[in-house]
Amino acid sequence: MSAPRWIDCIAHRVLPLLAEGYIRLAGATTSVITEENPQSAALEAQGKNFIYAAWHCQQLMLIYTHRGRRACALVSMSRDGEYAARILERFGFAVARGSTSKGGTQALLALIDKAQQGWHPVITPDGPRGPARTVSPGVVFLAQKTGLPVVPIACGLKRKLTFNSWDRFMLPLPFGKAAVVWGSPVAVSESDDPAEAAAKIQRGLDAASARAERLAAE
């Protein structure tokens, strides 16, 4: 095995462990406010299945707050996606690998299969490369094929680092404040126009994000 492959092997083992430790530290020391839409809360209380949708930039704290909830996340086939998959698995998430650019259909079929087994599919509908905060067709396709409503969720952070990346990724800092907001569930039928359904989901995500950011700043 060449040196670069050894480095890759070590990185794939060590970096997810470090990331897990940091997420647990940030999560445990952050004061989290949760505001759930009554309809979305009722779905969870009744044990009904649904699709989580969240913007890519907000996902880190949501991994902590939604750990162990029988969720299956769509993760890209990229090198970064490999790290993300290993981190998610450490928090009890199942993973379907693929994206809009590579392996998308296969990954969405895997999510449909998981949904039929009672797992909550999780999608960042603007990932893996954007445009930021713009809903791609994948979440609409998934909702139409599974018949599950889409629940927009958002996270606002008072103490954070914002990276100069395509999505303005937010790293939560320890000893801060976070607000997690669940929006109204969005029902999508097979007869719905995909563009209109995507716009409705986007409005839900934008509204939840604005509310989460206000609550976190208070």
Q: How far is CA 73 from the centre of its chain?
A: 7
pLDDT at 75: 84
pLDDT at 9: 60
Name residue 105's amino acid: T
The dihedral built from the CA positions of residue 185, 190, 191 and 192, taken in this order, carries a sign that is positive
pLDDT at 7: 57
Query: Please, are residues 204 and 182 in contact by the beta-carbon 8 Å criterion?
Result: no
Alpha-carbon span 87 to 59, nearest angstrom = 12
Which pLDDT tens digits describe the chain residue by residue (218 residues)? 444 665 566 566 788 889 999 999 999 999 999 999 999 999 999 999 999 999 999 999 999 999 999 999 988 777 777 888 999 999 999 998 876 555 567 788 888 999 999 999 999 999 778 899 999 998 999 999 999 999 999 999 999 999 999 999 999 999 999 999 999 999 999 999 999 999 999 999 999 999 999 999 99
What residue spans of the chain are helical by DSSP H?
3-29, 38-45, 59-65, 79-90, 104-116, 137-146, 194-217
How long, in residues, is the chain?
218
Structure tokens at 127: 């990932």
Calculate Rg over the CA atoms of the chain: 17
Strand order in the sheet with 94-97: 31-36, 177-182, 150-157, 51-53, 120-123, 71-75, 94-97
pLDDT at 1: 40
Alpha-carbon span 18 to 23, nearest angstrom = 9
pLDDT at 12: 66
Architecture per CATH, 3-217:
3-Layer(aba) Sandwich (3.40)
Domain ranges in the chain are: 3-217
